[in-house]
Amino acid sequence: MTETYYDMDVELPSLSLFEGVTGQDKAISLLRASARNPVHAYLLMGQSGNHQRKLWRGFAAALLCPDGGCGHCEWCSRCIRGNHPDLTEMESAGAALSVEEAHQLIRLAQRTPLVAKRQVLIVPDISDAHLAAPVLLKTLEEPPGKNIFVLTASTLPQEIVTIASRCLKIELASNQSRPIAAGGNGPSITHTRQKANRIGDMDEVEGAVVAGGSAQMVTETWSSVPSKLSATGSTIAGLVDEMLLAIDNALKDVEERQDKELKEFDKSTSDLGAPNPAMRKHLTERHHRELRKERVTYIRNGLLALSREYENKLAQLNSIDTHTGTDGGSVFSAATGHAAQSAMRSYIQAIETIHETSTQLVRNPNEKLLLQALLIKLADI
Ligand SMILES: [Zn+2]
């Protein structure tokens, strides 16, 4: 009996491990096929938001389940929920994996698996981990013990090319489409739309989280601001409260999910008779980062909705402008032309101010003051 024949006889990990992942059939087949005889490091290449978490958790189940990813045992479901004792998701506390976090990961890689025959170490988005990359490289070249690393990256800058070359690269299909606002296409519109789209591009949270009724409420609340805005302090304070309340409501789902995950974790560790304070701390820290990240995403989406309002006003002005041009310009007086031009400048300024606010969001966590300052400026426009 040849080895190939034997291999063909082995069942692939259950497809159910990848439930909810859409548009990634190729990556899923590669991961399932590879789980039988895994290499020591993988790199999932593609935009974040393409169900990456579900993909790596399903793959981890295939690697850690005693039956090769049966899809229904306790270990499989622990992997899918992200609380298998031998699965570590090393999400960075900062913008990118730090040197200290890379060292932490290396220390983790030295330990013996707790319950499975190996451990799986996930390092999400290493694209910006320029400083940590050299630290990780040695471990990836000579992986100690029974470790399988799964890295993810959205881009491949020069600094991480070497690391990437030590991994089996799996390309993810890009299945995210960004809606493009309808309207005119004068140069000023294109310019401001690029700015507005950049606000959206910073979105790093999985699409599924942002979808839903509460996200719709954020968009509605934030885009209604220009029509309610006046320069009085009480109006501005009231509007900012409304805007932030919509965000708080939208995040309730996330908080509930995290609460459930923590309770499940506590229950499962006590069932195992092995409380794991380090892992619990890791989980609560991840929740904290996740919540902050999603909050920032919701605020950015709100700002994007607000920006679109001014963009639409600008598009309307531009279409009037084009109209006068083709009609010979006799319909509007010179005064109207001036008014239109000054309105156009105001709208562009509004969009730029909104964009600046979006950029400041990371550095300045006092959202209330930041938004109040924004509305004061917009009321002036
Ligand atoms: Zn299983």
pLDDT digits (tens, 9 = 90+) for 223-233: 999 999 998 88
- The answer to whether residues 150 and 50 belong to one domain is yes
CATH of the domain at 122: 3.40.50.300
Q: Distance between CA atoms of 303 and 309, rounded to whole angstroms?
A: 10
- Ligand 1 centroid, distance to 9 Cα (angstroms): 18
321: pLDDT confidence band, cut at 50, 70 and 90? low
Q: Are residues 375 and 227 in the same domain?
A: yes
The type of residue at 152 is: T
Q: What is the mean pLDDT of residues 200-229?
A: 68
Residue 200 has pLDDT above 70, yes or no: no
In the chain, the number of structural domains is 2
Give the pLDDT band (50/70/90) at residue 207: very low
Same domain, 156 and 114: yes
Ligand 1 centroid to Cα of residue 56, in Å, is 15
Residues 249 and 316 in one domain: yes
Q: Cα(14) to centroid of ligand 1, in Å?
A: 9
Question: Between 144 and 103, where is the model more confident?
Answer: 103
> Does residue 275 share a domain with residue 154?
no
Residue 10 DSSP one-character state? S
Q: What is the pLDDT of residue 191?
A: 42
pLDDT surpassing 80 at residue 33? yes
Last residue of a domain, one of 115, 144, 171: 171
Question: Cβ contacts of residue 313 below 8 Å, gap of 6+?
Answer: 343, 347
Residue 375 or 316, more confident: 375
The answer to whether residues 78 and 202 belong to one domain is no
Whole-prediction pTM:
0.51
Q: How far is the CA of 71 from the centre of ligand 1 (A)?
A: 5
Long-range Cβ contact pairs of 141-147 (< 8 A, separation 24 or more): 141/166, 143/40, 143/41, 143/109, 144/109, 144/110, 145/109, 145/110, 145/111, 145/112, 145/113, 145/119, 146/112, 146/113, 146/117, 146/118, 146/119, 147/40, 147/109, 147/118, 147/119, 147/120, 147/121
Ligand 1 centroid, distance to 18 Cα (angstroms): 13
Supply the pLDDT for residue 268.
81
Q: Is residue 180 part of a domain?
A: no
Of 121 and 181, the one with more pLDDT: 121
Q: Could you tell me if residue 178 is inside a domain? A: no
162-178 confidence digits (pLDDT tens): 899 889 999 998 754 43
Q: Tell me how far the alpha carbon of residue 279 lies from the centroid of ligand 1, in angstroms.
A: 21
Contact present, 318 and 184 (Cβ < 8 Å): yes
Residue 181 falls inside a structural domain: no
CA of 68 to the centre of ligand 1 (A): 6
Q: How far is the CA of 123 from the centre of ligand 1 (A)?
A: 23
Average pLDDT over residues 107-112: 86
Can you give the pLDDT at residue 202?
33
> Measured in angstroms, how far is the CA atom of residue 60 from the centroid of ligand 1?
10
244: its two tokens: 């932030």
| Average pLDDT of the residues in 90-107 | 84
Cα of 118 from ligand 1 centre, angstroms? 14
CA 121 to ligand 1 center in whole angstroms: 18
CA dist 76 and 56 (Å) reads 12
Question: Does the pLDDT at position 248 exceed 50?
Answer: yes
Residue 87 has pLDDT above 50, yes or no: yes
Last residue within a domain, chosen from 111, 145, 171: 171
Same domain, 209 and 327: yes
* 347 vs 340: CA distance, rounded Å: 10
- Residue 56, pLDDT score: 95
CA pair distance 76, 16, nearest whole angstrom: 10
The share of the chain scoring above pLDDT 90, in percent, equals 32
Range of the domain at 271: 187-380
In a domain, 281, yes or no: yes
pLDDT of residue 236: 92
User: What pLDDT does residue 94 have?
Assistant: 73
174 contacts 330 by C-beta, under 8 angstroms: no
Q: Which helix (H) or strand (E) holds 242?
A: helix 233-272
User: Model confidence over 130-161: pLDDT tens digits?
Assistant: 889 989 988 888 767 789 999 999 888 888 88
Whether the pLDDT of residue 42 is over 90: the answer is yes
pLDDT score recorded for residue 41: 93
pLDDT of 378 reads: 94
pLDDT of 292 above 60: yes
| Ligand 1 midpoint to CA 80 (Å) | 10
Neighbours of ion ligand 1 (CB under 5 A): 65, 70, 73, 76
pLDDT at 35: 92
Q: Do both 85 and 153 map to the same domain?
A: yes
Query: Does 212 score more than 60 pLDDT?
Result: no
Average pLDDT value for residue range 344-349 = 86
In this predicted structure, the answer to whether residue 193 has a pLDDT above a threshold of 70 is no
Q: How far is the CA of 64 from the centre of ligand 1 (A)?
A: 8
Question: Which amino acid makes up residue 121?
Answer: L
**Cα-to-centroid distance, 65 and ligand 1 (Å):** 4
Mean pLDDT of 358-368: 78
Same domain, 24 and 120: yes
Mean pLDDT of the chain: 80
